């Protein structure tokens, strides 16, 4: 209990420091960028890029570190299964490899969908901000209906991408659930054959079945962390467009005030 509270405190403090330093750095880049460079990108896109800081927080210092520390336990549990059941450990090992390959191929389709989602959200934000900035022109020219139709098309595209991303996230959860159930079933089937032929006791089979359930917990966390890593990579690319802005040379500016 004390270790959990201490770990939570350390992780939260590290996340807060990381978010604060990164947000100050990004905002300073925006303030120091030359005006022509800053105005190349819409205000909605800039707001979306700054909002990505919330998604970066808690990943590098918490989720990624926890998943990395859990992965060695998979090898430990497989070694215990090999000690109790002999070649029975090959069943969960093969299924883990298959599950990893399927998850890797599945997550390959997730990154383009997320990129499209962020792009469409930025376009929608830019559209709303531009309309509000020029609302007097819109009213004077009677363009309300035309702009509403344009906004409906943007909403339709965003809804389609949101549906695709939600469906893919649900498919990933289904893949992890099916993989966990299949692993338990196959271990029970092969282990029962070992018991019938007298190569394993019933208690050993029960222990192997419990260990298989324990294996899937760090495996599921690793898959979730890899999925989040894909998301963070896309989000980080959005933020890097701010962090790589050029800095305006202020050495020639006049100095005001007295020393």
Mean pLDDT of 198-206: 84
CA–CA distance, 15 with 18 (Å, rounded to integer) = 5
Give the pTM. Answer: 0.68
Residue 197, domain extent: 9-243
Inside any domain, residue 252:
no
- The residue with greater pLDDT, 255 or 227, is 227
Cβ density class 168-181: b for 16+ within 10 Å, e for less = beeebeeebeebbe
Confidence (pLDDT) at 143: 83
Confidence (pLDDT) at 254: 62
- The residue with greater pLDDT, 53 or 192, is 192
pLDDT category of residue 99 using cuts at 50, 70 and 90? confident
Above 70 in pLDDT, residue 58? Answer: no
Confidence (pLDDT) at 255: 61
Inside any domain, residue 250:
no
Residue 188 contacts residue 210 (beta carbons within 8 Å):
no
Mean pLDDT of 42-60: 70
Inside any domain, residue 203:
yes
pLDDT more than 70, % of the chain: 88
Inside any domain, residue 2:
no
Domain count across the chain: 1
CATH of the domain at 87: 1.20.1560.10
Inside any domain, residue 72:
yes
The H-assigned helical ranges of 134-143 are 135-141
CA–CA distance, 122 with 49 (Å, rounded to integer) = 9
Inside any domain, residue 1:
no
Look at 57-61, 102-106, 166-170, 183-187 and tell me which has the smallest mean pLDDT: 57-61
Inside any domain, residue 159:
yes
Inside any domain, residue 3:
no
Instruction: Count how many residues are written for the chain.
Output: 259
Above 70 in pLDDT, residue 63? Answer: no
Look at 54-58, 99-103, 117-121, 215-219 and tell me which has the smallest mean pLDDT: 54-58
């Amino acid at each position: 209990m004390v270790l959990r509270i201490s770990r939570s405190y350390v992780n939260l403090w590290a996340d807060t420091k990381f978010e604060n330093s990164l947000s100050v750095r990004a905002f300073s880049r925006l303030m120091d960028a030359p005006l022509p460079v800053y105005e190349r990108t819409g205000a909605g896109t800039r707001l979306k890029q700054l909002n990505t800081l919330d998604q970066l927080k808690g990943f590098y210092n918490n989720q990624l570190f926890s998943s990395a520390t859990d992965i060695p336990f998979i090898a430990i549990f497989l070694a215990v299964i090999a000690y109790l059941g002999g070649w029975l450990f090959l069943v969960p090992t093969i299924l883990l490899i298959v599950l990893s390959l399927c998850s890797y191929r599945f997550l390959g389709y997730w990154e383009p969908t997320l990129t499209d989602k962020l792009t469409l959200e930025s376009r929608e934000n830019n559209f709303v901000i531009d309309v509000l900035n020029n609302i007097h022109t819109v009213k004077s020219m009677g363009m309300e209906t035309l702009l509403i139709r344009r906004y409906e098309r943007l909403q339709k595209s965003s809804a389609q991408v949101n549906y695709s991303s939600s469906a893919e996230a649900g498919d990933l959860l289904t893949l992890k659930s099916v993989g966990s159930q299949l692993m338990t079933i196959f271990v029970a089937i092969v282990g029962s054959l070992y018991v019938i032929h007298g190569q394993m006791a019933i208690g050993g089979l029960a222990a192997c079945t419990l260990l298989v359930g324990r294996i899937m917990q760090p495996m599921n966390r690793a898959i979730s962390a890899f999925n989040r890593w894909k998301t963070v990579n896309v989000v980080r690319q959005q933020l890097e467009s701010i962090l790589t802005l050029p800095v305006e040379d202020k050495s020639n500016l006049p100095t005001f005030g007295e020393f």
